[in-house]
Amino acid sequence: MTSTFQYGANVHANGIRQHFLRYGGTHGERASRPAVIVIPGITSPAVTWGFVGEVFGREFDTYVLDVRGRGLSSASCELDYSLDAQADDVVALAAALDLARFVLVGHSMGARIAARAATREPRGLVSVVLVDPPVSGPGRRAYPGKLPWYVDSMAQARAGIDARGMRAFCPTWTDEQLALRAEWLHTCDERAILASYDGFHNDDFHADAAQLHVPSLLMTAQNGDVVRDEDVAELQRATPAMQHVRVPNAGHMIPWDNPDGFYAAFGDFLGAPLGRTTSA
């Protein structure tokens, strides 16, 4: 199938260099639909979400973001890696790209960024999709992912690691997925990852989710213990209009574990269905 990849680019927004990959463009029916900004998780540069961008690009003008401190976006010892800064980046990116209407699709850390960005009520925001967000926070159970897993894998990536070595950290992934992670993980600034991981336990995601004033979809994994049934119930009590779907046969990295289930879970929420066999 023809690739939907358009180009990679940088913009200066919120005072930093923000790098993104664009898929789809605005020709055809995409022109009448909102653009999609995909915000990956804590150690996922944009390129590792390229296979998702390809599918989204068949139906939507799609931008996959390198969150600050990851991939080709700005990183430094002076940079603010807080959730507020990350959320302001997304708002500034949408403005710099002059997106009249857009949707935020965030996975894990990206979902927390999307929720915080939505509290800014940026011009043009149409809806938000929160994919398996860490529901940890002040007074709540800890995030199930352990910090040494991130720190150790990044250290090995900085030294140089291949797909075989990465399999010790991601045993269910394909060789292609492992090779891509091995190639790009070294671009994740450890200071950014430590700050974001601390934020999982210090920032109040539930408070942000309760302030959503646009349609929202909560997508959770059947496995992995990141979002439990009681967490879903609490979030929907706070935001009764929030839709929810659980993706079967998937852990936290839903698009890797069950890509068909991931795309199907969006249904018509975005305005057009997704699917690995959707025509361009």
Q: What's the pLDDT at 276? A: 63
Domain ranges of the chain: 5-142+203-265
* Phi, psi for residue 104 in degrees, rounded to 5: -105, 125
C-beta neighbour count of 109 within 10 angstroms: 26
d(CA 112, CA 109): 5
Full-model pTM: 0.97
pLDDT for 275: 80
Residue reference for tokens 């209009």: 241
Residue 280 has a pLDDT of: 37
Domain 5-142+203-265 grouped into CATH 3.40.50.300? no
Single-letter residue type at 47: V
Residues 6+ apart with CB under 8 A from 242: 209, 212, 216, 217, 218, 235, 236
CB-count burial class (<10 Å; 0-12, 13-18, 19+) for 82:
middle
Q: Tens of pLDDT along the chain (280 residues)?
A: 799 999 999 999 999 999 999 999 999 999 999 999 999 999 999 999 999 999 999 999 999 999 999 999 999 999 999 999 999 999 999 999 999 999 999 999 999 999 999 999 999 999 999 999 999 999 999 999 999 999 999 999 999 999 999 999 999 999 999 999 999 999 999 999 999 999 999 999 999 999 999 999 999 999 999 999 999 999 999 999 999 999 999 999 999 999 999 999 999 999 999 986 443 3
Predicted pLDDT of residue 248 = 98
